[in-house]
Amino acid sequence: MTPMGQQGECMTYLVADDLFRREGARLVASLAAHLGTHRLKLAEDVVQEALVRALQTWPYHGIPKNPAAWLTQAAKNLALDTLRREQTWQRKKAQITTEQERWLMDDEHADEHHLADDTLRMLFVCFHPQLSTEAQLALALRTVCGMSAAEIGAAFFTSEAAIAKRLVRARQRVRDLALPFTVPEPGDLPERLDGVLGALYLLFNEGYKASVGERLVREALCHEAIRLVTLLVAHPSTQAPRTFALLALMLLNAARLAARTDDTGHLLRLHEQNRAAWDQSMIQRGIVCLGQAAQGEKISEYHLEAGIAACHSTAPDDASTDWPRILTLYDQLLTLTASPIAAMNRAVAVSRVHGPQVGMTALDAITDHSKLESYHLFHVIRGTFAAELGNQAAALMHFRQAGNLASLPAERDFISRRVQECVKA
C-alpha cells in the first residue's frame, strides 16, 4: 500500500501522541484491573507497544475511524499473547477465554455501591494500607493518572530521579506483597478517600499549570480529574463534604482556563483576563458544590482553597475582589498545612490588603525557603513587589532569576515581558 506521505505521517504522529496522552493512563488502569496489580509493568509495556504499532501501521493503512478502540484492542491482544507465552496454550486456554469474556462484559449490572470506573478502581487499589504514603501516591500518579516522573517530581519539589527510584521501590513492594487487584468494599472506601482525592488534586494542578513540555495548560487532565471527582460525589461511600469541596475547587478554577492566555498565547495575570470568557455555568456548578461541601463539621484544605477560588470567580472585576476575605481564608489554610506554596500565595493576598512592603515581609517570614528558591513564581512575586515599591533594579534581578528557573515557553515569555517593563521604567 502506498504510504500516506510526509504530511500524512506527521498527522499520524500528532494524532497518536494526543491519543496516548488522553487514553494511555486510562488504558493501563483498565488492563491492570483485569490482570492484577502484580501485572502493572505488563499493562504499561503492552500499552506502549500498542502505540509503537500504531505509529508503524497507521501511516500506511490510514488512521482508524476509532483510534482509541484500535489502541485498546491492540493492547489487549498483546497482553493475551504474553499470557499465552508464559504458559502452554492448553493450561492457559480457559483463563484467556475468561479474560476475553470479562473485557467484553459491560457494567450495566454493576452494584451501585461498587466502583464501576476502572480508573477509580485502580486509584483505590494504589492506596493499599500496606504501602507507604509515598509509594501509594507515586504509584497512583504514574500508573493511573499517567503523570511522568518529571511531573510528579515537580509536584513534590524533588528530582525526577528521586521519583523514579520511589516508583521502582513501590512496584517491588507490590510484587513482594503479592497484592491482588482487590477493590475495597464500599465500607472501606472512605479510609482510602483522602489519598485518592490528593492524587486527583495533583492531576488537576498538572493540567491547570503544566510543569514540563511546551503547553501551559493541558485541559484534558483537568477535565479527567473533574470527571473522576464527579463520579466520587455520586457514590454513596465517597460523597463526603471534602469530595464536594475538591470538585468545587476544580470547577471554579477550570471555568477560567480559556481566559488564561490571550489570542497570541501570552500568559495573562488574573487582573488582565477577560472575565466575559469565564465559563459562568461551570462557576455556578462550583458554587453549588461548595454549598454541598458545607454540610459537614470539618473544614478541609479543599474547602478553603475553593472559598478563595470562589472569591475570584464571583468578583465582577479585579477591583471588586474581596481580598480581606481571601487573606482570612489563607490564614485558616496555614493552620491546616505547612505548605510553603500556600504561604507564598498568602503573601500576595497580604500585599493586596496591606501593600507590597508588608507582602515582601510576609515572603521573607516563610520559614522553609529551600523549596521556594527553585520555584520561578517565588521570584516573580518578589520582582512584582519590588517593582511596585519603585525598586526597578531589584525587580529586574528577581525577574531574571525567575526566567532562569522557568521551564515552559509561556512562562519564559511572561517573565521576559516583565524584564522589558523594568528596563523601560
75, part of any domain: yes
Cβ-defined contacts of 322-325 (< 8 Å, 24+): 323/349, 323/352, 323/353, 324/353
DSSP structure string for 335-387: HH---HHHHHHHHHHHHHHH-HHHHHHHHHT-S-HHHHTT-HHHHHHHHHHHH
321, part of any domain: no
pLDDT of residue 110: 47
Q: Locate cell 461548595: which residue? A: 290
Which residues partner with 267 through β-bridges?
Answer: 261
pLDDT of residue 17: 64
pLDDT of residue 366: 93
Residue pair 367/373 in contact (Cβ under 8 Å)? The answer is no
Q: Tell me the three cell numbers of residue 223.
A: 477535565
DSSP structure string for 109-144: T--TTS---HHHHHHHHHT-TTS-HHHHHHHIIIII
64, part of any domain: yes
Q: Tell me the three cell numbers of residue 355.
A: 501593600
In order along its 425 residues, the chain shows pLDDT tens digits of 444 555 555 666 566 666 666 677 778 777 877 776 667 778 888 888 888 888 778 777 788 888 888 888 888 888 888 877 766 544 545 555 555 555 444 444 445 556 778 888 888 888 888 888 888 888 888 887 888 888 888 888 888 999 999 888 888 887 887 766 567 788 889 999 999 999 999 999 999 998 888 888 889 999 999 999 999 999 999 999 999 999 999 999 999 999 998 888 889 999 999 999 999 999 999 999 999 999 888 999 999 999 999 999 999 999 999 999 999 999 999 999 989 999 999 999 999 999 999 999 999 999 877 889 999 999 999 999 999 999 999 999 999 999 999 989 999 999 999 999 998 87
Number of structural domains in the chain: 1
Distance between CA atoms of 338 and 348, rounded to whole angstroms?
17
Which amino acid, 167? L
pLDDT of residue 2: 47
Angle at 103 between CA 173 and CA 136, to 5 degrees: 20
Q: What residue numbers bound the domain in which 63 lies?
A: 6-104
158, part of any domain: no
112, part of any domain: no
pLDDT of residue 91: 53
**Helices 340-354 & 356-364, crossing angle to 10 degrees?**
160
Distance between CA atoms of 190 and 194, rounded to whole angstroms?
8
Residues with Cβ < 8 Å from 12, sequence gap 6 or more?
4, 55, 58, 59, 63
310, part of any domain: no
Distance between CA atoms of 20 and 27, rounded to whole angstroms?
9
Q: Tell me the three cell numbers of residue 27.
A: 488504558
65, part of any domain: yes
Residue pair 269/321 in contact (Cβ under 8 Å)? The answer is no
DSSP state of 261: B
Distance between CA atoms of 224 and 202, rounded to whole angstroms?
12
pTM: 0.78
Distance between CA atoms of 240 and 363, rounded to whole angstroms?
34
Residue pair 227/158 in contact (Cβ under 8 Å)? The answer is no
Residue pair 149/142 in contact (Cβ under 8 Å)? The answer is yes
Distance between CA atoms of 247 and 36, rounded to whole angstroms?
29
pLDDT of residue 120: 87
H helices present in 36-129, as ranges:
40-61, 67-86, 89-104, 118-126
391, part of any domain: no
pLDDT of residue 109: 43
**Helices 67-86 & 89-104, crossing angle to 10 degrees?**
160
